[in-house]
Amino acid sequence: MKKLLLLLVVLGVAGAGWYYYAARTRAESAPEFTTTTIARGDILQQVTATGQLDSVISVDVGSQISGLIQKLYVDFNSPVKKGDKLAEIDPATYQQKLRQAEANLASAEASNSLQKVNTERVKELYAQKLVTRQEYDQALAQLQQSNAALVTARATVENAKVDLERCTITSPIDGIVINKQTEEGKTVAASLNAPVLFTIANDLSKMQITAAVAEADVGSVAEKQDVTFTVDAFPNRSFRGQVVQVRNAPKTTSNVVTYDTIISVDNRDQKLRPGMTANVSIIVARRDNVIRVPNSALRLRVPETVAVKREDAPAAPKHDAAGKVEPDEKKEPRAAKVGGDGQGGGRRGGGMFANLTPEQRQKMREITAELGIDFRNGPPTPEQREQLRKRMAEAGLPVADAPAAARPGEVVVTTRKIYKLVGVAPDQSLEELTIKAGITDGTATEIIDGIKEGDVVVTSVTVPTSASSSRPAANPFGGGRRF
């Protein structure tokens, strides 16, 4: 009896130890999930760019004549009205030219008076047949030459007066002097180009930003879109503006094509100054109080060792009377959707590869590797999608019709894959969900349909590695491989 009791105790201890060891081993081998709870919030989809602040109207004031700057009436930041004196050039030279022109005019007028008298006399003599026709015609021609010389002399006097008036440089507009490039005593040389002496801004309470928007983003930018921007002078303050013009003239710098986008700015507090660099964020779409999910959940790649309940699980095969599996003749590979749900495929080769045959999936991987497309880093760009579609067509792969391009302000709804965590540890598993995604701000994405607020989704999976494995762990800071 004692031996039987002792045997039962030993078996109980061994069973408990085995159960403890099995539970611990199972817990250590279970994958670890990083999760987040679906919640509501605001999402702003923005296009970023940089630009320079300038006044709406800015005029460079120069000199059309050469000479010595005799006097300055304004300085930096001087307010001016239209017609106010800005500077004076030494007028002595041009006064002398005016006096000389007036003297030449007086001489021309005297000569013209004498020529008129002589012409009248010749005309009377010709009427009395005392001079020839040739002499009469010659007198008329000399009178016309004298009239022309008189007009030239008068024009020379007018030119001399204009040059003398240009010795006084005046403001063409109301505004403020933001730049001065001359001093008293400096000589102005106006030969081929008029030298710039002053720059006058019309009204600094209204300014504009000329932002360089990249060609990949300009398609979503339109007039009347709201803009926020910051400047280095006020790093903790956000200013507002509005898009008023998107210019069609391209600019290429270091093989990067940009388009100037004009943004109007209200500067009534006079904090902003011309020439400041503005870091611009153009709000192309906005959603308030919507269901959103972190982008890391959309980029998740689930390892093959993790159990996943998929939406498109194959139906049970049909058997004939002999017990053999009947082939499904209706099943055909569907066209791959380029750029739709490429990040949420779950297993490697999922998503856009899931509807292809193994041979087609292999071709697809080769094409994406050749084009440098990695769906783990996000969806491909429009240029990459177009290249991918062309290569797929060349390789004979089925390609779905490309979605219509969205106009500025419209949102393209895409289908993505996401994974919901179900069960209790250590028997947790993933449930694959198909969602409709809207706009994104780079960190979170709007969820239109497919999941509800409060659901728990997975953002990363860590699979523990065996201690006896000869291969080192991919994560040097943890005991498993993270996906």
pLDDT attached to residue 396: 75
The residue among 85 and 322 whose pLDDT is bigger is 85
Indicate if 256 and 187 belong to the same structural domain.
Answer: no
Same domain, 373 and 359: yes
Q: How confident is the model at residue 406 (pLDDT cuts 50, 70, 90)?
A: low
Q: Are 350 and 387 contained in the same domain?
A: yes
User: Can you give the pLDDT at residue 156?
Assistant: 96
Residues 176 and 64 in one domain: yes
286 and 211 inside one domain: yes
> Which pLDDT band, with edges at 50, 70 and 90, does 408 fall under?
low
Is 90 exceeded by the pLDDT of residue 193? no
Residues 159 and 178 reside in one and the same domain: no
pLDDT one-digit tens code per residue, 114-125: 999 999 999 999
Please give the residue range of the domain that contains residue 360. 335-399
- pLDDT tens digits, residue range 429-475? 788 999 999 898 889 999 998 888 998 899 988 877 653 333 333 44
Residue 33 has pLDDT above 60, yes or no: yes
Separation of alpha carbons 272 and 239, rounded Å: 9
> Is 197 found in the same domain as 155?
no
Angle separating helix axes 382-394 and 358-371, nearest 10 degrees: 130
Q: What is the pLDDT of residue 355?
A: 56
